[in-house]
Each structure stands twice: as C-alpha cells, then as structure tokens.
Amino acid sequence: MKAVSDYKEIVPKKKWFETIVVRVFFFFIGMGMQTAYRIDPDVRKEVDSWPETFSFCMSVVGGPSMLMLKKAGSFQYLGEKETFYCDVEMCFKNITFAYLIMTGRISVPNAIYHNRQFVKGSLNYGMSIIRVMNIVQTLLLPNFLARFYIKKVPKLTLKKLVNRAITYFNIGYGVIK
Amino acid sequence: MLFKKNVVIPEYYEFFNSVKIISGYKALEAIPFELSRLGAKRPIIITDKGVAQAGLIKYVVDSFGGTDTVVGAIYDETPQDSSNIVVNQIASIYRANNCDSIIAVGGGSAIDTAKGVNIVITENSDDLLKFMGNYRLSKPMKPFAVIPTTAGTGSEVTMVAVIANPEKNVKMSFTSELLLPKFTVLDPRMTASMPSKITAATGMDALTHAVEAFIGTQKNPVSDAFAAAAMELIRNNIVTVVKEGGNKDVRLAMANASMLAGLAFSNSMVGVVHATAHATGGICHVPHGVANSILLPFGLEFYIGKSPKTKEYIESLLLHVAGPEMYVQTAPAERAVKAVAAIRSITSELNKLCGLPVRLSEVGVTEDKLESIAKSTLNDGALSFSPVEVSFEEALGVIKAAY
Amino acid sequence: MGEAKEKEVSNVKEKNLPEIIGSSNKVLEVDLTTRTSTVYQVTDEERRMYLGGKGLGLKLIYDRMPAKIDPFGKDNIIAFMPGVLMGTGAPCSGRFSAVTKSPLTGIMDHASCGGPFGMSLKTAGWDGLLVKGISETPVYLVITSSGVEFKDASHLWGKDAFETQDLLGKNKNAGAAVIGQAGENKVLFANIVSGKRFLGRGGMGAVMGSKNLKAIYAIGGAYKIVAREKEKFDKIKKLATKRINANSVTSDMLRKFGTDNLVTYTNIAGIMPVHNFTSGSSENAYKLSGEYISENFNTKHHTCKPCTILCGKTGKFNGKDLSVPEYETVGVMGSNLEIFDPVLIAEWNDLCGRFGMDTISMGGTLAWVMEAGEKGLVKTNLKFGSPEGVAEAIEDTAYGRGFGQEMGKGSRALSQKYGGEDFAIQVKGMEMAAYDPRGSYGVGLNYAVANRGACHLSSTVMAQENFVHVLDPYSTIGKHVWVKFFEDFYCAMNSLHTCTFTSFAYILENPLTKYSGLFYLKLVMGYLYPLATKIADISIYHKFWSTITGMKMSRSDFLRAGERIHILERYMNTREGITVKDDTLPGRMLKEGRKNDPKGRVVPLEKMLKNYYRIRSYDENGKPTEGIMKKLSIAVH
Ligand SMILES: NC(=O)c1ccc[n+]([C@@H]2O[C@H](COP(=O)([O-])OP(=O)(O)OC[C@H]3O[C@@H](n4cnc5c(N)ncnc54)[C@H](O)[C@@H]3O)[C@@H](O)[C@H]2O)c1
Ligand code: SF4
Ligand SMILES: [Fe+2]
C-alpha cells in the first residue's frame, strides 16, 4: 500500500506545440485583418460600421491572444498585447480548441455552436466580426483550404489573388498600421 | 422506413440546467419553504403593471401566509424594454428594504429585469456594462425564483438576460449559468388571466423555441427530448387554451410546454426565425411572440430549400407538430412541406380565434422597412446559430415572403 | 493644414521691423524689492552649452541663487525663457519655458507653456526674463523693448486669471503671464496662466504670488526674428512640416482628437488611473476619449501659436465655450475620481484654469482626500464617483478656505499629517500624471528619477510602451537606456524650445524608421537599444538650432547639452537634499497590484534604478559624480 506522502502533485505538460501554432495563426489573422481593411471593400464596410476606437480581441484562456483596434482611420493589429479593456473579446476555452479551429479541424461557426468559445462584451458586433474573419480567411488561404474554416467560400478572382499577395507581403514585412 | 432515426448524437455538445421545477395546483404555496431552504426570508417581488392589475401578486403574497417569510418590497413598474436605469432603481429599493432574495413574477420582461437586478446586487456594482457577454459573473448570486405569468419565453429556465442601455444605445446581453433561478413555480392560476391574444402569441413563441431547437445546429438528445415533449403539449393545447382561458389543465400544460421549450432552446439555440423576429421587433416594435408566429413557417421554408440535412430534421418535425397519424400517412418526400403546413394550420386557426396576425403587413411593418430589418437580421446573434449561412438577400427574401 | 500654414505666416510676416538675427542674447533681470532692472548679455559659450529655454534658465539661476533658500523668499528667482526657435516660424515653436524653485517639491522646477507671453517677450527683444525679490504691494510688470515698468496691481488683485488678462488689455503683439486667486493665496500647486495655456506644474503661480507679482505684461512686435542661415533653415522647416503632416499621430490623432485620443490606448493597456490608482481601466472610459468628446461637444482648434500639430481644443459644454481638458486632466479628475462626465470635467478644468491651479495636482489631491475619507482618516463629503462637493473643494483650495487650506499643500503634506502615505500618489511632492507605472515599467523608472517629481514629460516612454507598441511595457530590459536618452533629448528640446509632440513626427517619419517593418523596429528598440539610441533621427532639432544661431551643433553636442542640463538640474536638487531615497514611487506602485490585474504586478523599480544610476554616473547616494560634472564642464558651487 502506498503511503500518503507518495501521492504527489501532478503537473500536466504544457501544450507548447499547439500554443505556437495558434500564436502563428493569430498573427496571420491579425496582420491579415489590418491589411484587409485597407484593400478589401467588404471588410472596410464592416469595420467602418463599428464605432471609432472599437477594440476587439481574440484569445485563449491563459494562452496567446491578438488585439485589433480601430483608430484614426486604420484598423490596427496591436499584437499579443495584454488588454485590460476591450469592447469585444472572443475567448477560446482551451488551447486545444483554438488549435483545432486554427488548423481547420473545427470550423469557426462550429466552434460557436459547440460553445467552445465565449464572448466578453457586447454581442452586437459579433456577427460583423465573424464576417470580417471569414473574408480575411479567404484572403489568406487558398480556396481548397478555406473550405474547412467557413460556411461559404466565395469565387476566386484575379483581384483576390493580388490582394492575397499584398497581404502576404505585409505580413512578412510587418508593416505598421 | 416509416420512422426516421430521430435521435442524433452530435460531434460535441453541452447541456446544463439546474432549475428546480415546481409545477401544479397550489404550487405557489411551496415558495416559502423553498426560500427558507435557501436561507431567505425577505424577498423583493419584481413584476409589471399588467400582472399587478390582474391581481396575481395577491396569490403570491397570500402563499406566504402563516410562515415567517415577509415580502420586503413589491416593484410593479417594470417596462416592456427594461433598461439599466430601471435595474439600478430596483437594486436601490432592494438595498433600502434589506431584502435578501428576488422573486420575478411576470413575463420575459419582468424576468430579465430581475436577472439584471441580481447581477447588480451580487456584484455590488451599478455598472452592468462590465458584465456584458458570457461567463463574466463569478460570485454566487442571491436566491432567485421565477413565477412566469406568460407561457412563452421560457425565461424561467434560461441563462440569458437582455437589458437595454439607452445611453450607449446597445442591448446588453448577459449569459451565465449563475443567472438561472434557483427554482421556478408553474401554477395555473398565474397564467389564467392572460388575454387570449397574448396567450396565443406567447404560445407560438414557445412553439418556435421548440422547433428551432429541434432543427438547430446544436440539437442533441437531451434538448430533443424536451423539444419533442414541448411540441406535443403545444399541438394538443394551444387552440384550447385560447378558447378556454379559464381551463386550469390546459393552462398548466402550456406553462410546462413553454418551460420545456425553454430548456431545449437555451442549450441548442435558435436560428433564422428568431433572428428575423428580433430584427422585426427591434425596428417595428412587433411583440416577440407575434413576430415569431408570422415568421416561423417562412423560416422553415427557407431552410428546406437550402440544406438537405435541415430538411431531414424538418421531416421528423412533422411527427411532433402534427402527431403520429399524420406522420405515417405522409410520404417521406412530402413530410417537410406538410410540417410547415401543419404549423400554418395552427396559426390560421389562432388567427380566426383571436386575430393573431399571419403577415408582417398586418402588424404595421411597412415595405420601406424591410431592408433595414434584413440588415439588422444579419447582425443578430441568433443568426450565428443558423444551420445555413444567411446572406442579406436571403434574409430579405424570408422577410419579403412573410410581408 | 491650410489653417496651420496661415497661422504661422501671420505671426512672422511683419513689415519693415528691425531684425534680430539668430538671438538677441539679452536677458532682463528684474528685482522687485528694489524695483530696479539690469540687462545680462548671454555669452556664446553659455548659449552653446545650455542652448536656451530651460537649459539657459537653469544655468542663470544656478549662477545667481544659492541652495536651500526659501521658495517664497526674496532670493527665489523665477526665469521666463523663450528659446531660439520662438519667433522664427518653425513648426510648434510657440512654446517657452519657466524655471524656479518649487514650493511644492522644494527642488528645481521647470514648466513649458504655449501661451502668447513667450512670443511677446521674445519680439520685445528679450531672450529671457529673471524676476527676484518681493514687492511690498501688489504689482505687475510691463515689459517692452526698452525695459520694465512697475505698475500697481491692486485693481487686479483678487481677479481670476482670465479676467486679469482681459483687464490688462488686448493687443495683437502683447501677451501676459498672470496668476489667479490660487497663486495669490500661495496654493502650492498654483500655476501661471498665459492665454488659456499654463505653466502648469510645481506651483510657479505661488512663487509669483509670494512676490506680490500679479502679472507680467509683455508688449512685443518690436523686432523680427530671423535665422542666421535663412535658406538652410527654411529647408529644415519644410521637412519638419512635411513630417508632421505625414505622421498619423500628429496629423491625425492629435490634430483631430487632441491628447484625449490617448484614452483608448491607456484604457486598453490598463494604465488609465481609476479610483486613486487602484485599478487601471474602466468600461466607461470611452466617454473621456477624444473621439467621443469631439463627436459630442463640437470641438474646435485652440492651440499654442504658432503650431502645426494643433492638439489644443475648445468645445461647447452645456452651452458654454470651454477648453477641452487634456488627457492628464480627464485621467486624474475623471476616471481617477470615477467621474465619466466630460461636461463636469470641463467645468472643473475651467475652474482650475481661472483660479490658476494645476489640474494634475488638484486631481491627485482630490483623489487622496476621497480615499482618506473612505478609510476614515479625514472627514469629508467627497466620494469617488460623485461630483458632489468637488467644485466647492476646488474653490476652497484656491481661496485657502477651511480644509481647502490643507488641500492646497498637496497630497504629500496631507498624508504626512493624516497618514495614508502609501496612497498619496506623488513623487518628491509632485502628484503623478495619468499613466499608471504598473502597466508601463519604463514610466515607473521615469517617475522615480524625473527631476521635478512624478512628471510624465521628462521621458515619455509610455508612448513606446503602450501607444506605438515597440517596447514591452512589462519588461525592464533597456528601460534605463531609453529613459536616459529621452531625458537628455527632451531637456535639449525644451531648451530650443519646441513642443514635445513633434518628436513623434520628426523621429518616426525618418524614412529608415518609417519603412522598416514592425519586427525590425521591435527588435532594434527592444534589444539593440544602445544602437537604437545612437541612430534615432533627431537631426531636425539640432539643425534648427544651428541654422538659427549660426553656430555648429552636432547630434552628439546636442544630446550632450541635454545631458548637461539634466545633470545640472539633478545636481541642484541634490544640494536641496534629494538623495537616492527620494528616487522612489508611492507605496501603492511598489506593493499593491492593480485591482484588475490578475497577476497583481508592481513596478520592479530597484533593478531599473541601479542600471539607470550606472549609466547616469550617479553615486550610490544619487548624486552626480565629480567625473560626470567635469566631463560636462559644470562648475561646482
Ligand atoms: N431571457 C430570455 O431567455 C428571453 C427569451 C425570450 C424573450 N425574452 C424577453 O422577454 C420579453 C417578452 O416576454 P413576454 O412575451 O413574456 O412578454 P412581457 O413580459 O413583456 O409581457 C407582455 C404583457 O403581458 C402582460 N401579462 C403578462 N402576464 C399576464 C397575465 N398572467 N395576465 C395579464 N396580463 C399579463 C404584461 O403585463 C405585459 O403587458 C422580451 O423583452 C424579450 O426580450 C427573454
Ligand atoms: S501640439 Fe498642442 S501642445 Fe504642442 S504646440 Fe501645438 S497646440 Fe501646443
Ligand atoms: Fe423567443
């Protein structure tokens, strides 16, 4: 029989791989949103309908996050900034959920149905944010991949391809604003 | 195959409910004991003018007779669209009268307000903005009970509250398990006085909850069971309850149906019907139940044309909204259309009985408003739970069809 | 933008006036006791070493004023110092400096202001004005190109600052520096008012009050100021204007929404003070943001002149035309008191303006009283979240009535008397500006070591940490280097003198900085900081100075001059008794996390301070070493 002192605290291992993947995806989506606001009229229309200084954060409980801020005529990606206030925060309950979503194993709409995320702040802009995210994902990903993430994939056009190139350039270069 | 496999296990789902349900004749009299179990002796009663004028508060107060429970205060001025201002006002009444628990008596409006009051009191902050969203509350709440006087919203078992903030011009919505009441009392006396048109409209709201939960994205075996039971009760009682408002058995059946539908939809969520109904209500001030009742058949028709999977669910729906005979007599290919027809026949009967409208044009919606309704539909949270993606044109199509 | 151009031109283009090429180098010295004046000729050596403005003012005082004198005594000197830029029409050059010994902190105090007084003094031919002595009766000075006149001020005594200026008369070329009732009553944080702009911090108004000096009225327009190397100067001016108009911070955020646009950033970062710095953000902060205010209160430009950025604003509040409170004010008088009504804050701001009191110290003191009341240390009807009694408290403070008398001594004195020193949010006696250092470690170091006390302008690292996001706010790496760099640089800039906000444009719009991606910028600034401080482009500043004066000034000379000014000020402060133990933060910042910070972090000051002392060449007591004094050629006396 084991003695009481044999029972020790067990620390589960960190999910570092998932964390890195999610972090990279957050970064791509953030930079993608920032660029999309400048080049995609649909995104611009959605974002312009939000109030000035609107902030939006996507995060994982106890994990990585990304912060977007609408200010001074731009939609800025502020990186993994610790936020003490933001208008809307979409929070994934576990890093694994976020990982599955980012790698296309669970679609964003499904994650919402499944209650794998929750929202802090006003739900009024939720739908609009999801639409922006959908557009950004089609901008970032080839159509055969985008299919995994969103309900309806739009047609591929030359304009889309050009925009995609611009987006990738901006992401690689880290353009400010 | 006569019966389709109705119970589906989704890839993932969550279900939660912790409300004790007390249903039946003289059920109100159980309140003092239940309160004392929770250590409460001085509840505040939150209600609205209509309910107070119908004399329903007397039943509640009388039920405390012979116990040491006293009513700390009665607030009966809850408006239809409750705001943070009202909530804060009630909270100060609560504090001033040393109340220790909250009882909501009324329809969705009074119940939502009471939930808001509970947040303000528990968090000891008059700033509701801080708690907007899901899971923002963490402290154990004050003992809270709900006595519904309408049979429709199911708010007595939902963890949502919607409260307006006129200053910031937003509808603040709060979701948390902590918002659930500790218990709810369904007593037929409480709904007996409801005017027939409100009875019909709220009943249709309940039906819409059950239907949308049954075909929704998050349908699951637990919610299906509740939805099915709710639909059966509604199909058998909704017409009678409008005809014979004083019949306690049907009143109790409808109260239960509404509660069951609430259990179902609060976990599997609603879809395009509620999204369009919220938008219509928001822009043209159409009562929630009435808007749902009008839009329900059109929403279903939209789904049938869009998604084969949802169509399958709607086929099974026929069993619940029309009964087993009708279901077996109908060829599988026609079941979906028949299900919609069955719902239409209910609404048209209610239309004849009490003038429940069946078209948006009958309730003051004008043609020039349709576009803005469609636009606001797209921003409604319920839409994210719709089984199919809805574009602006499609939303407009549904609304135009119902016009 | 068009508007900005016009203003610049109108102020400079005067016909056929005698010209001052470069600078007049004449400083008028006035003694109120004897009612006499002399003229001091600034040497080229002094000019080169101390540039002008703040630096020169400090140096002149250092040579004339012994240590340990009473700030309210006749020996205290107050210096008003325009720099070489004033009058040349360079962008945002409408600002002048004042230097004196502060009654609030007991150490040296410098303030900067964009009111019309500076321009009038300068175009009257004076590069500085030193006032000492005490007048027996209320007096005001009239300064013209021919010197000073002493005039009886008994009809002005008791009038508020705006009224006093009206009574002095309107003249296109004249500008006044006046005090309100607070200065007369020697409120320790009374300020000096010029137009609707202020020499804000440290109680300079009380120094004037102690001298019985109600106002100084300068009548300028006698000279035209021209740069010695005109063509080169114009080129730089053009470049400077271009950068200001290209930069989004200066041309968009500050120009459209004023300094209040910062609310968004500070609230997100959790450095917006709430409830006397117990918490760092609020859901309601949006109501204090420049965006909200400009949308709801019909704001218009009302700025220092000349200015190209145009951050100052007035608005319609409750039907009245009032100045839009600056970020610091909405922070310390708004969120910090849990008041989120811009109308109330604008009214209190206006009250403070009229009485002539620093809003930051007033706000900080009000917050201390509210918390002390909550804790039962003092009896008061002031409560967080309630506007009740605030306006009265401000008035009582200005007039020294009742408890207001004690409030007029600031939160340090109050907490020494009643207890509660940990939550007296001040350093060296000066109340903290509206950036919580617990969410911006560099600012923590800055507050602790800044020469005049908890001043946010001595090195604005919160911008790098929380507005442009190139430095990690929760890291101590390199912060000492950045704080030192900006202190030196701002000392030099305040000696030119031009507006701090130009640095966003002049530095960031350098092509190298502008077009290098975010990652490289973060990498270079966050980790290769010694390199970054060497290459940051500040050329516009020293080129302005050298083209105007015609003297050579390299980048390193310029920063060296800044360092000299900073060290001299520090040295003078150590003579007054400042040591290492004064370089600290309020207890709350070192022991208690913000309520809404789950990690409960506090400022890790010690480590940063040690590094800072090392690169500053301070000894373990916080005194500049002989070595550095010698290196910077500061004579010890
Ligand atoms: N929290 C939730 O889950 C949820 C769900 C759906 C709807 N709602 C909210 O509920 C509200 C609608 O609720 P509702 O449909 O129950 O209506 P309601 O509460 O607004 O009541 C409608 C009217 O009927 C009167 N009334 C109610 N019961 C009566 C009775 N027994 N006898 C006589 N008159 C009576 C009331 O005085 C009122 O004038 C909406 O504001 C909606 O946002 C909440
Ligand atoms: S930017 Fe603002 S503070 Fe600077 S000079 Fe212009 S108005 Fe004055
Ligand atoms: Fe409903």
B130: distance to nearest CA of chain A, Å? 8
Same-domain status, C312 and C394: yes
For chain C, the domain total comes to 3
Residue of higher predicted confidence among C434 and C252: C434
- Closest listed ligand to the CA of B204: 3
Give the gap in angstroms from C-alpha B399 to the nearest C-alpha of chain A: 19
* Closest-CA distance of chain C to residue B129, Å: 7
Confirm whether C36 is domain-assigned.
yes
Cα–Cα distances in angstroms (integers) from residue A156 to residues A139, A142, A150, A153, in the given order: 10, 9, 15, 9
Task: Output the six-digit token pair for B209.
Answer: 């909850």
Segment C60-79 shows an average pLDDT of: 96
What token pair was written down for A75? 């939609």
Q: Helices in C247-358 by DSSP H: which ranges?
A: 248, 255-257, 262-269, 290-296, 327-329, 342-355
Tell me if C233 is assigned to some domain. no
Tell me if the bond preceding C497 is cis, omega within 30° of 0. yes
| C275 and C165 share one domain | no
For the purposes of burial, counting CB atoms within 10 Å of the CB of B368, is it exposed (0-12), middle (13-18) or buried (19 or more)?
exposed
Model confidence over B2-43: pLDDT tens digits?
455 667 788 888 899 999 999 999 999 999 999 999 999 999
- Same domain (yes/no): C71, C205: yes
Residue C235 belongs to a domain:
no
Q: Which residue has the higher pLDDT, C513 or C283?
A: C283
Indicate which atom in ligand 1 lies nearest the CA of residue B49: 37
Range name among A51-60, C140-149, C153-162, C269-278 with the lowest pLDDT average: A51-60
In this structure, the answer to whether residues C450 and C405 fall within a common structural domain is: no
Residue A113 confidence (pLDDT):
80
CA of B357 to the centre of ligand 3 (A): 17
Q: What whole-number distance in Å separates Cα of residue C346 and Cα of residue C326?
A: 9
C289 at the A interface (CB within 8 A)? yes
CA dihedral sign of residues C93, C94, C100, C106: negative
Backbone angles phi, psi at C376, to 5 degrees: 80, 15
What spacing in Å lies between the alpha carbon of B44 and ligand 3's midpoint? 26
Q: Please say if the pLDDT value at position B1 is more than 70.
A: no
Looking at residues A90-97, what average pLDDT do you find?
A: 92
Chain center to CA of A4: 46
C178/C213 Cα distance (integer angstroms)? 8
Q: B114 vs B120, B174, C75, C255, CA distance in Å?
A: 10, 13, 68, 46
Nearest to B12 among A114, A118, A121 (CB): A114
Three-state SS sequence of B8-28: CCCCCCCCCCCCEEEECCCHH
Q: What is the pLDDT of residue C392?
A: 96
Nearest to B20 by CA among B262, B253, B225, B184: B184
φ and ψ of B217, to 5 deg: -70, -25
Q: What is the pLDDT of residue A3?
A: 85
Check if the beta carbon of residue C31 is closer than 8 Å to that of residue C213: no
Rounded to the nearest angstrom, the minimum Cα separation between B213 and chain A is: 12
Q: Whose CA is nearest to atom 6 of ligand 1?
A: B153
Residues on chain C touching B127 (C-beta within 8 angstroms): 283-284
- Label residue A103 by pLDDT band (50, 70, 90): confident
Residues of A in contact with C597 (CB under 8 A): 84
pLDDT for residue C9: 44
Which CATH number is C573's domain given? Answer: 1.10.599.10
Is ligand 1 within 6 A of the CB of residue B57?
A: no
pTM, two decimals, is 0.87
Q: Best interface-test mutation with A: which of B12, B159, B171, B265 has the largest number of A CBs within 10 A?
A: B12
The CATH code of the domain that includes C19 is 3.60.9.10
Among C226, C247, C269, the domain boundary falls at: C226
Radius of gyration of the CA atoms of chain B, in A: 21
Contact A176 C518 (CB under 8 A): yes
Neighbours of B76 (CB within 10 A): 17
pLDDT band at A13 (very low <50, low <70, confident <90, very high): confident
**Is residue C55 classed as helix, strand or coil in its secondary structure?**
helix
Q: How confident is the model at residue C2 (pLDDT cuts 50, 70, 90)?
A: very low
pLDDT of residue A31: 87
The last residue of a domain, from among C394, C410, C431: C431
Let me know whether C195 and C63 are in one domain. yes
B7 and chain C in contact, CB less than 8 A: no
pLDDT at A46 over 60: yes
Task: Answer yes or no: do C73 and C214 share one domain.
Answer: yes
- Helix, coil or strand: residue A95: helix
Contact A174/C520, CB-based, under 8 Å? yes
Q: Looking up tokens 């959908």, which residue turns up?
A: A134
Contact across the interface for A151 and B389, Cβ inside 8 Å? yes
Instruction: Check residue C139 and report its DSSP letter.
Output: E
d(CA C186, CA C72): 9
With CA atoms as reference, report the closest residue to C76 among C26, C32, C121, C122.
C32
Inform me whether the C-beta atom of residue C285 falls under 8 Å from chain A C-beta atoms.
yes
What does DSSP say about strands C192-194 and C36-41: parallel, antiparallel, or unpaired?
A: unpaired
- pLDDT-derived band of residue A174, with 50, 70 and 90 as boundaries? low
- Rounded to 10°, the helix A16-39/A126-140 angle is 90
User: What are the tens digits of pLDDT across the range B117-139?
Assistant: 999 999 988 888 888 888 888 88
Chains contacting C with at least 3 CB pairs below 8 Å?
A, B
Q: Which residue of B has its CA nearest to A97?
A: B12
Residue C4 in this model has a pLDDT that exceeds 50 = no
What mean pLDDT comes out for the span C469-489? 94
Amino acid symbol at A60: V
Query: Edge to edge, what strands does the sheet with A88-92 contain?
Result: A74-77, A65-71, A55-60, A88-92, A117-121, B133-134, B170-175, B160-165
Q: For a pLDDT cut of 70, what percent of chain B falls above it?
A: 98
Q: Residues 541-570, chain C: which have Cβ within 8 Å of A?
A: none
Is the separation of the CB atoms in C91 and C306 below 8 Å?
A: yes
Give the per-residue pLDDT at C7: 44
Q: What is the pLDDT of residue C549?
A: 95
CB-based pocket (< 6 A), ligand 2: C 92, 94-95, 114, 303-304, 307, 309-312, 499, 501
pLDDT tens per residue across span C436-455: 999 999 999 999 999 999 99
Q: Is C521 on the interface with A (CB under 8 A)?
A: yes
Q: C413 and C448, same structural domain?
A: no
Q: Residue C395's domain spans which residues?
A: 258-431
Residue found by looking up tokens 């006698």 in the block: C222
Using alpha carbons, list the distances in angstroms from residue B56 to B67, B75, B80, B149, B257.
20, 13, 18, 9, 21
The nearest CA of chain B is from the CA of C287 a distance in Å of 10
What is the average per-residue pLDDT within C32-61?
Answer: 96
Answer yes or no: are the C-beta atoms of B186 and B21 closer than 8 Å. Answer: yes
Q: What is the pLDDT of residues C210-249, one digit of tens each?
A: 999 999 999 999 999 999 999 999 999 999 999 999 988 8
Q: What is the C-alpha separation between B32 and B71, in angstroms, rounded? A: 11
In-domain check, residue C232:
no
- Å from CA of B160 to ligand 3 middle: 11
Mean of pLDDT values over C498-525: 83
Q: Is C3 a member of any domain?
A: no
Task: Give pLDDT, residue C571.
Answer: 97
pLDDT at C394 over 90: yes
CATH number of B196-402: 1.20.1090.10
Instruction: List pLDDT tens digits, range C564-600.
Output: 999 999 999 999 999 999 999 999 999 999 998 999 9
Whole-number pLDDT of residue C10? 46
The residues spanned by each domain of chain B are 26-186, 196-402
Mean pLDDT of chain C: 93
| Ligand 1 atom closest to Cα of residue B109 | 19
**d(CA C574, nearest CA chain B) in Å:** 47
Is a pLDDT exceeding 90 seen at residue B267?
A: no
Which ligand has the minimum distance to the alpha carbon of residue B274?
3
Same domain, C413 and C505: no
pLDDT of residue A149: 63
Residue listed under structure tokens 């951050």:
C311
Task: Write down all domains in chain A, each with its CATH number in brackets.
Answer: 15-169 (3.30.1050.10)
Which chains border B (3 or more CB–CB pairs < 8 Å)? A, C
**Residues C162, C206: one domain?**
yes
**Do the two domains B26-186 and B196-402 of this chain adopt the same fold?**
no
- State which of B78, B87, B155 you would mutate to test the pocket of ligand 1, scoring each by most atoms of that ligand within 8 A of its C-beta: B155
Residues 6+ apart with CB under 8 A from B47: B56, B57, B74, B75, B76, B78, B104, B105, B106, B110
Continuous segment of H or E residues that includes residue B101: strand B101-106
Secondary structure (3-state) at B184: strand
**pLDDT greater at residue B47 or residue A110:** B47
pLDDT band for position C414 (cuts 50, 70, 90):
very high
Using a 10 angstrom Cβ sphere, with 0-12 exposed, 13-18 middle and 19 or more buried, the burial of residue C201 is buried
Q: What's the Rg (C-alpha) of chain A? A: 18
Q: Is the CB of B150 under 6 A from ligand 1?
A: yes
Whether omega for the bond prior to residue C306 falls within 30 degrees of 0, making it cis, is: yes
Contacting subunits of A (3+ beta carbon pairs below 8 A):
B, C
Nearest-CB residue to A79 (from C280, C289, C469)? C469
> Of B152, B153, B159, whose CA–CA distance to B174 is shortest?
B159
**In the predicted model, is pLDDT for residue C5 greater than 50?**
no
Alpha carbons C235 and C593: distance in angstroms, whole number: 50
More confident residue, C506 or A144: C506
Q: Cβ(B43)–Cβ(B102) under 8 Å?
A: yes
* Residue C468 domain-assigned (yes or no): yes
Give the pLDDT of residue C588. Answer: 96
* C380 and C278 both lie in a single domain: yes
State the pLDDT at residue C510. Answer: 83
C-beta of B258 in contact with ligand 1 (< 6 A): no
CB pairs under 8 A between A and B: 61
Ligand 2: distance of its center to the CA of C199 in Å?
A: 13
CATH of domain B26-186: 3.40.50.1970
| C315 token code pair | 């608005």
CATH of the domain at C303: 1.10.569.10
- Best of A52, A65, A68, A83 to disrupt the C interface (most C CBs within 10 Å) is A52
Residue with tokens 């908890």: C454
Instruction: Outline where DSSP puts E strands in B309-394.
Output: none
Cα angle for residues B304, B307, B313 (degrees, 5° grid): 65
Determine which of B167-171, C18-22, C612-616 has the lowest per-residue pLDDT on average. B167-171
C96-101 and C78-82: which strand pairing?
Answer: antiparallel
Looking at ligand 1, which residue's alpha carbon is closest to its atom 11? B108
Spatial contact of C443 and C456, defined as CB atoms under 8 Å apart: yes
> B294, B357 in Cβ contact below 8 A?
yes
Residue whose tokens read 């900067």: C112
Helices (H), B244-334: 248-268, 272-284, 288-306, 308-322, 324-329
Among C172, C205, C226, which residue terminates a domain?
A: C226
What is the band of A150 on the pLDDT scale with cuts at 50, 70, 90?
low
Average model confidence (pLDDT) for chain A? 83
Cβ-proximal residues to C543 (8 Å cutoff; 6+ apart), any chain: C232, C236, C553
Same domain membership, residue C495 and residue C565: yes
| Within-domain flag for C436 | no
Looking at residue A152, its pLDDT comes to 64
Query: What does the pLDDT average to over A138-164?
Result: 70
Contact A26, A64 (CB under 8 A): yes
C283 touches chain B (CB under 8 A): yes
Q: Are strands C26-31 and C96-101 parallel, antiparallel or unpaired?
A: unpaired
The atom number, within ligand 1, closest to the CA of B289 reads 15
Taking alpha carbons only, the member of A115, A113, A102 closest to residue A148 is A102
Distance (Å, whole) CA B257 – CA B205: 11
Positions of E strands within B113-248: 133-134, 144-148, 160-165, 170-175, 183-186
Same structural domain, C295 and C214: no
CA atoms of C2 and C124, how far apart (whole Å): 28
Examine residue C243 and state whether it is found in any structural domain, yes or no: no
Confidence of residue C3 (pLDDT cuts 50, 70, 90): very low
% pLDDT > 70, chain C: 97
B125 in contact with chain C, both atoms CB, cutoff 8 A: no
Helix (H) or strand (E) holding C100, with range, is strand C96-101
